[in-house]
Each structure stands twice: as C-alpha cells, then as structure tokens.
Amino acid sequence: MQKPNNMMLQTLARLIIVIVLSFSIYLLLAGHNGPGGGFIGGLMTASGILILYLSFNFKTIQAVIRFDYVKVIGIGLLFASLTGVASMLFGFPFLKHFFDYFTIPILGEVELTTAMLFDLGVYFVVLASALKIILTIAEDDK
Amino acid sequence: MLTLLHWAALSPFIAAVLIPFLYKYLKRIHTGWFVLILPLVLFVYFLSFIPRTSSGEVILNNLNWVPSLGINFDIYLDGLSLLFALLITGIGALVVLYSIYYLSKRKEKLNNFYVYLLMFMGAMLGVILSDNLIVIYVFWEVTSIASSLLISYWYTREKSIYGAQKSMFITVFGGLSMLGGFSLLYVIAGTFSIRELIANADMIMASSLFIPAMILVLLGAFTKSAQFPFHIWLPDAMEAPTPVSAYLHSATMVKAGIYLVARLTGVFGGVPEWFWIITTVGLVTLIWGSVSAVRQKDLKGILAYSTVSQLGMIMSLLGTGSAAFYFQNGDNALYMTAILAAVFHLINHATFKGSLFMAAGIIDHETGTRDIRKLGGLMTVMPITATISLIGLASMAGLPPFNGFLSKELFLTGMLNVTEYGIFNLETLGIIIPVIAWIASVFTFLYCILMFTRTFMGDLNLSKLKVKHVHEAPVGMLISPIILAALVIVFGLFPNLLAYSIIEPAMAAIAPGIISPGEVFDVHISHWHGFTPELFMTIGIIILGVLLFITFKKWENSAFYRGERDIFNSVYDSGYNGLIAGSKWITRIQMTGRLRDYFIYMSIFIIFILAYTMYHYNLPAIQSLDLSPVPIYMWLILLVFVGSVVIIPFINNRIALIIATSVSGFIVALLFVLFRAPDLALTQLLIESVSVILFMLVFYHLPKLKKVKTPPKMKIVKLIVSIGFGLMITLGSLSAFSMGQDTDFSSISEYYTENSKEEAGGYNIVNVILVDFRGMDTMLEILVVSMAVLTVVSLIKLRFKGSEDI
C-alpha cells in the first residue's frame, strides 16, 4: 500500500470521521423505529474507518485501531446466536425477541428490546467483515 | 424431557469436550485413566436395568426434537438395546484400560485418540438407544466418521489414510442409502418411530415401496457390518491402533448393521425377499471371510477376515430366523433357534474376538511384527498371551467347553432347521444352507489352528524381528484380555447365566409379537444334546480341519495361498481411480479460470431456467399492465443509468471504468430514494462507497487493462447470451408484475405493516423483518458473510507459492 501524504485529505478526514462514526452509531440505535439498523450502521462505520486507512499511513491506523477483526466477527456471531439461545432458556423458540418501554432520566421513555442485541451482533459482523475483506486485499502486495 | 438415559447416551460427547483440557493440563497422568471412569460408570448403570428388561419391561423416554418433521430423540430401552449398551460400555471399559498400556503417553497424541473414541461411544449408544430412524441415522454417520478418524489415527502412514478413506466411502455410501430407505418408510407409514413402524408392519408390507425401502436399508446394514461384497473396508481398517480394532471393528461398530437388521426384523421380517437376501449375503460373507482368512499372513488380517466371516454368520442367522414372522404362531423352537444363536454368538464373538485382538496387539507391541511368517515359538516367552489366544481361538473354532462351541452348535441347529421350514422354495434349495455353513466352519477351524501354531509353536527366530528381546507384556495390558478370556470360559461353562437375563429379552425384542405377552421364549443351552446331526457335523469339522492342517505344506505354495489380496479390492480401486479421473475431467472442461466464461455459464443457466418456468406457466402473459404514468425526470434518470451501463464495455481506462460502474450504482440508490425506500437507499449508497474505496485501495496492484481478441464466433455467442439474459429478466419481471395483478395473492407486506408495532415493537418494518420476523435468515446470512471473510483471507494469505499445485 502506498503512503499517502495529503494534508487536505488528512485534515478533512479528521473532521469527517467524527461525523461519520457518530452518525453510524445513531443509525444502529435508531434502526428499530427509523431508517438504519445493524447492517447499515456497520457498513457506515466500516466506510468511516476505511476513510482513515485511505488518507493516513496504513501502519499508523493499525497502531490506533488494535482490533483483530476476525475476533470481532466471532463476537458478533456470538451476540446474535446467544440472543437467540437466551430465549430458549426460558422455554421460548430460538430467536424470540422481547421488548418493553422504560423511563430513564434525561432520555425519557425509551424502548429496550432484545432485538437490539441481535442487531448489535449483525453490526459487528458486517463492520468487521467489510474491513477484513478490504484490508486483506489491500495489504496483499504480491 | 431429558432423562437420565438421555444423559447417559450424551455423556461421552460431554466427556469428549473435557479430554483436550485434561490432556493439556494433567500431562503426568495418562489421559486414559480419566476416560476409563465413564464406560465403567455407564456399564454399572446399564447393568441395573437387567431386572427390568428381563421381566419384559420396555423403557421409553420421549424427548421432542423436531416434532413437526416427526424427528424425536426418543430413548427406547429393551432387551436388544440393553445387550448392545452393555457390550459398548463393557468392552469399551476394557479397551480403554488396554489402551492405557498400549499407547504411550509420551509419544502418542492421546487427546485425539480419546476424543474420537468417546465420540464413537456416544454415537454408538445413540444408535442403539434411539427409537427414531432419523436420530439413528445421524448417530450412525457419526460412528462412521469416528471410525475413519480412528483408522487414520497414525495419519502420516499412507496405508492408514487409504483405509480410513475406504471405510468412509463405503460406510457413508451405505448410510446415505439407508437414509433413502428410512425416507421411503416415512413415505409409506408417515412415521420415523420404529415402534410405530412395527405396529404398522402389515400396511408397510402391502406398499409398492416395500422392496426398494428394504434394499436401501439393507445396503446401510451390509456396508456397516462388512457384508460381502462391501467387506473389503474392514481388513484395511486394521491400520487403526489395536484397541480400536478390538472395539470398533470387531465388538461394536461392525455390529451396528446386525443391530439394525435385528431391530427392523419386526418391520420387514416374514417375506421371502428379506429371508433370502439376508441369508444369502450372510452365508456368502461367512464362507468368503473364512476362506480369505486362511490366506492372510498378518495376525490382524486373519482376525479381520474372521470378523467378516463371523458377522456373516450372525447375519445369516437373523435371515433364517426371520421366518418366524411368516409362521407367526408356529413351532417357535424351530425358527427361534436361529435368533437365539444370533444373540448368543453376538455376545460370544465380542468376548473371544476382543481377547484375540488384544493378544494380537500384545504380540505386535512386544515383537514389532504381526507377520505369521516371521513369528513363531512365542509360547515359552509369552505364556499368558499364548493361553489367552488358545482359549479365544478354541472358542472361535467351536471346541468345547468354550462358549463358541455352544453358539456354533446352535448355529448348525438353526441352519439344519431351515430344511424343515417348507416355505420360500426351501424344499429344494434349503439343503445348500447347512452345507455352506459346514464348509465355512471347516475353514474357520483351519485358520484358528494356523494362527495358533504359526505364532506360538515352532522356533523363535529373533533375526527376523526388529527387537532384540521378546518378553511377556506388562500386567496392565494383560488384564483386559484375561477378563475376556475368563468370560469365554464362564459363558461356556454356565451359559444359562445369560439365558433369561440377557438373551431371552433380546430375542423378545427382535421378534416382537411372536409370542403373547407374559410368555417367554424357551432358552435352553447345553453342551450335550445326544447324538444329533450337529454333533456329527462338529466332529466332521474337526477331522477335516485337522486333515487340511496336516497336509497344509502342499497348499502353501499354491497361488491361492501366496496371494492375500481380496479380488474385490481391485473393483474398489478402479472405481475410486475412475471417480477421481472423472471429477478431474469434469473440472477441467469447465474451469477455464476466466471470469467471463463463468458469467456465460451462469447467464445461460438463468436463461434456461427462466425460459422453462415461463413455458411451463404459459408465460410471458403480459395482459394488463396497469402502470402509473412515468414522469419526465424518471425517464432522464433511467437514460443516464442505461448510458452509464452501455458505455462500460467501450472504456479502456480503469479509473473511468470505476467511475462509470459507480454511477450506475448511485443511480440505483437514487431510484430507491424516489420510491421511498430509505433503508435500501442507505444500504446501496454505503455499498457503493465501500466498493469505490476498495477499488481505490487495490487500484495500485491491478495490471494494465489488456485488449483481448475474441474470435467472431465467440462474439456472437456472447451477444446472444447478453441479449437473451436481458430479455428474460425483462419478461420475467413484467410477467411477475402482471401475474400479481391478475391473481388475488395478498401481499405479505400487509401482515408486516400491521404486526410490526404490536408484535415486535418497532416502526421500521425493514429492520423488524431483518431482526425479528426473519431473524433466522439474518442469522444465517451473517454466518455466510463470516465464512466469506475467512475464505477471502485464506485465499490471499495462504496462497500457493511458485508453481505449487494440488
């Protein structure tokens, strides 16, 4: 991978990344009731991180983000499947979801659902898969 | 409900999970000691059921698994299951004990060995305890896998891999046929439960699918129990460590086929086809095995063919015994003697063959060879092993007072009885059956003498052996074969110990409904019956066997004795090579390595499948396209879209290509926005962005675009395929649209709109579908994505270097 040294790009990337990442988390959380969800959120986070990789030195970013993406995929799959298994422990079918409304200070009434945990699993898998595939291909210099 | 019996069947799998940890963290203690506890406990546990099963009680514990498909993990314990459970756990415990001394804890990968062994034990318990055919099938295949893994335990040896592969191919082929047979039974009777099948036996017999189902099921049983001509895998399975051969390949797994036949006698028994197929295959296996065993020079080879032959014997007994179902309330003793002999010999075979395998293992362990041409004179050096072998071989040869004599006599009685049946053309052909049985027994006698004299008599020739000193095996290694040899004597002297505790309940389980409830089969086993034909047959066997042995020097140089390879091996080998060559040929003609060729295949396939569907449903039927007006801006967007696609083939610059493709992608996103599908639009936009980034990242590595010259003929083909593809997709979508308007299918989206809030608490239907209504799909989808990632990583990171090829 080439080492880009583009001041404009790097400055802009620093600015953009904050917006992209926070928007992606918003998308993840808003998914159940508005546009968004784990898949979209994961992709957006991935594209945000990819912008970093594009504009900065590969090694620099690697030093900052120290995740083994394959492990993140595993964690995501665990999240998704364990949410499904959890309902089985209470005698419900696999992947049955539950939700209820709670009142939390400052935020007001909030809906909490086990589907969110499942979606979080999807988020992790999509995020890490996109990054892992692209970075593996990009890293390959043969 | 999960009952204790369920846990008993599953406990080996649970124990298997712990083995790697025990092996890793408690290296000083041989892992086998931990494993030993389980079969011992299970053996005692199953022993406690004897009072219940011997009083005719049947234990049935239900556990729903997939009730909608009729698949339930129902445990069914009767006399037959209990007999097998005791064999599996009892012999299992002895084998594990033996393996502790056989496998060195320093040199061997004990964790692998015991995990596979426990996996097998659990699967085998599953097979014999389950009432449901599908559950049986699943466990059945697990035993095949475990067996192959154990055969290839020393996987660096080429022969081990060959043997493992062979057993896998043959038994899995049989397993799949069996699954077909089970499915046919389900089609006929609508149930996978053996109890219910037996209850509906009359209805099944009347079906036209009866014979196909029977043959398919029998293929499974015959391949597993190494029946002729599928027996060839068993001799090659001898590459496994000896404890495995003693356990899987003589005492338990190879008897799974016999178990299945015995268990399903209640379903299929009573028809001539069942009788003749099983009897014939059994007898041919019996004689083929015993004659082949004479030719072998490897101790374990002799034992392998002898096992094949003995399995054939038990199988033929089950075949002739099935006539009891034809007569129903006839003279029980006449038909049931065969079943009695089968059950009794099953137990006896496990005891004497187990001890013989262990003795062979000891000889191999101490002398470094199993070749009877190199061995000899071990009697004085290894007196205990010699005694064990003598007892085992005498029992196998059918000499009194050992248990083998008793069951051999019963076997001969059973075969002689056949001539008195007077059904299924037996008046004329029947006489062949006892004759074959007798000839095969002569050969059995012969190889037993050969094996003993060649190994233990004569002179010990150390120069032929790899070791300097030969001595008796350590005590620990001798315990298990001594126990088994002791059982050979005990069962021989006091056969009635087993008669009503184990044998009779097993017979009642094989032949349900033959006698009325409350009655029991008459089991009378004794050494002396008076001067019966059986006695003279036995004397004849001994005389002829000894004669053959004395004159053996004459036969020794014949081509028959010098070769030892089974001719059916060449059938397997050429079939195997043909399969490989055929697969290579098929791969070569289609895998060109050019992406455009693959696209042509895919497109042609899609064209044909769409064309066929349309033809089949009288389409395209574009009758009433009730379209809403298309505004001008939409036309403009579509124009740009089409333009961006059309231009792609004419671009020679990579950057321009990337831009052109992403233009079409972004326009699709725009269309989603116009049709008010924000989730889709967002996804499409993100996918486009990510793929553009990917292109940018790999751009640096890509080679220069090259002009490829396509011959004009190919150009025409490509043109036709492209046009056909476009046409089919257009027609297909229009027809689908028009069909949807013509018929009154109510769209499922209404259901989602109505229930998304109440049922799942979300306003975004798309998301609710993804995470809740169709959560399982998403679950599998992310699994596929993860697998794709691993594939990409392994493709790139583990790339072959240079000109390496598979």
Tokens 């993100």: give the residue. Answer: B686
B307-326 residues labelled b (16+ CB within 10 A) or e (exposed): bbbbbbbbbbbbbbbbbbbb
pLDDT tens-digit profile of B182-232?
999 999 988 899 988 888 888 888 888 899 999 999 999 999 999 988 999
Residue B297: pLDDT band (50, 70, 90) is confident
Distance between CA B755 and CA B737 in Å, rounded?
Answer: 25
Task: Test B771 with A50 for CB contact under 8 angstroms.
Answer: no
Q: What is the mean pLDDT of residues B303-308?
A: 92
pLDDT at residue B724, as a whole number: 92
Integer angstrom CA distances of residue A54 from A10, A17, B656: 9, 12, 20
Distance between CA B464 and CA B372 in Å, rounded?
Answer: 11
Q: What is the Rg, in whole angstroms, of the alpha carbon atoms belonging to chain A? A: 18
Task: Test B690 with A46 for CB contact under 8 angstroms.
Answer: yes
A-B CB pairs within 8 A amount to 147
| CA quadruple B157, B159, B162, B168: dihedral, nearest 10 | -90
pLDDT tens-digit profile of B327-346?
766 556 677 888 888 999 99
Distance between CA B52 and CA A127 in Å, rounded?
Answer: 59
Taking Cα atoms as reference points, which of A72, A51, A142 lies closest to residue B689?
A51
Assign residue B572 a region (left: φ > 0; alpha: ψ between -120 and 50; beta: otherwise): alpha
Instruction: Please tell me the distance in Å from B509's CA to the nearest CA on chain A.
Output: 36
Angle in degrees, 0-180, between the axes of helices B678-699 and A114-139, rounded to the nearest 10: 20
Name every residue whose Cβ is closer than 8 Å to that of residue B642 and which is 6 or more positions away in sequence: none
A84-91 contacts: CB < 8 A, separation 24 or more? A84/A118, A84/B775, A84/B779, A86/A114, A87/A114
Instruction: Please tell me the distance in Å from A126's CA to the nearest CA on chain B.
Output: 7
Structure tokens at B247: 């356990």
Task: Test B698 with A27 for CB contact under 8 angstroms.
Answer: no
Minimal Cβ distance to B779: which of A95, A132, A133: A95
pLDDT at residue B486, as a whole number: 92
* C-alpha dihedral sign at B139, B140, B146, B150: positive
Structure tokens at B267: 């379903």
Task: Test A129 with B770 for CB contact under 8 angstroms.
Answer: no
Distance between CA B477 and CA B713 in Å, rounded?
Answer: 75
Task: Test A133 with B789 for CB contact under 8 angstroms.
Answer: yes
Name every residue whose Cβ is closer than 8 Å to that of residue B697 and which is 6 or more positions away in sequence: A1, A50, A53, A54, A134, A137, A138
Question: With pLDDT > 90 as the criterion, what percentage of chain A qualifies?
Answer: 27
Contacts of B765 in chain A (CB under 8 A): none
Distance between CA B185 and CA B210 in Å, rounded?
Answer: 8
Q: What is the mean pLDDT of residues B128-135?
A: 92
Distance between CA B560 and CA A106 in Å, rounded?
Answer: 94
pLDDT tens-digit profile of B478-529?
899 999 999 999 988 888 888 788 888 888 888 877 776 667 777 777 777 7
For residue B257, with 0-12 CB atoms within 10 Å meaning exposed, 13-18 middle and 19 or more buried, which class applies? Answer: buried
Name every residue whose Cβ is closer than 8 Å to that of residue A114 and which is 6 or more positions away in sequence: A83, A86, A87, A97, A98, A99
Distance between CA B449 and CA B456 in Å, rounded?
Answer: 11
Contacts of A129 in chain B (CB under 8 A): 785-786, 788-789
Distance between CA B636 and CA A46 in Å, rounded?
Answer: 33
pLDDT above 50 (res B806) = no
Structure tokens at B36: 């030993």
Task: Test A97 with B799 for CB contact under 8 angstroms.
Answer: no
pLDDT above 80 (res B556) = no
Mutation for testing the B interface, residue in A133, A140, A141 having most B CBs under 10 Å = A133
Task: Test A80 with B779 for CB contact under 8 angstroms.
Answer: yes
Taking Cα atoms as reference points, which of B607, B600, B606 lies closest to residue B717?
B600
Three-state DSSP state, B252:
coil
Q: What residues are paired with A103 via a beta bridge?
A: A109
Task: Test B786 with A129 for CB contact under 8 angstroms.
Answer: yes
Distance between CA B727 and CA B740 in Å, rounded?
Answer: 20
Minimal Cβ distance to A95: which of B701, B763, B775: B775
pLDDT above 60 (res A1) = no
pLDDT at residue B622, as a whole number: 65
- Is the bond preceding B512 in cis, omega lying within 30 degrees of 0? no
Distance between CA B445 and CA B396 in Å, rounded?
Answer: 8
Angle in degrees, 0-180, between the axes of helices B654-674 and B678-699, rounded to the nearest 10: 170
Question: With pLDDT > 90 as the criterion, what percentage of chain B qualifies?
Answer: 29
The answer, for A87 touching chain B at a CB cutoff of 8 Å, is: no
Contacts of B789 in chain A (CB under 8 A): 70, 73, 128-129, 132-133
Contacts of B778 in chain A (CB under 8 A): 80, 118, 122
For residue B802, with 0-12 CB atoms within 10 Å meaning exposed, 13-18 middle and 19 or more buried, which class applies? Answer: exposed
Instruction: Please tell me the distance in Å from A36's CA to the nearest CA on chain B.
Output: 6
Contacts of A20 in chain B (CB under 8 A): none
* C-alpha dihedral sign at B515, B517, B518, B523: positive
Distance between CA B354 and CA B153 in Å, rounded?
Answer: 20
Whole-number average pLDDT of chain B: 86
Degrees to nearest 5, angle at CA B291 with B290 and B297: 90
Instruction: Please tell me the distance in Å from B68's CA to the nearest CA on chain A.
Output: 14
- Return the higher-pLDDT residue of B463 and B541: B541
Minimal Cβ distance to B786: which of A43, A73, A113: A73
A81-96 residues labelled b (16+ CB within 10 A) or e (exposed): bebbebbeeeeeeebb
DSSP for residue B193: B
Minimal Cβ distance to B792: which of A2, A133, A142: A133
Taking Cα atoms as reference points, which of B542, B269, B246 lies closest to residue B394?
B542
The answer, for A126 touching chain B at a CB cutoff of 8 Å, is: yes
Minimal Cβ distance to B683: which of A39, A81, A140: A39
Q: Residue B71: which H helix or E strand, with range?
A: strand B71-72
The answer, for A129 touching chain B at a CB cutoff of 8 Å, is: yes
Phi, psi of B241 (to 5 degrees): -55, 145
Instruction: Please tell me the distance in Å from A9's CA to the nearest CA on chain B.
Output: 14
Integer angstrom CA distances of residue B194 from B186, B316, B340, B470, B669: 11, 22, 22, 53, 57
pLDDT above 90 (res A113) = no
Contact (CB, 8 A) for A117 and A83? yes
Structure tokens at B731: 């027609």
Task: Test A111 with B785 for CB contact under 8 angstroms.
Answer: no
The answer, for A53 touching chain B at a CB cutoff of 8 Å, is: yes
Residue B606: pLDDT band (50, 70, 90) is very high
Which residue type occupies B195?
R
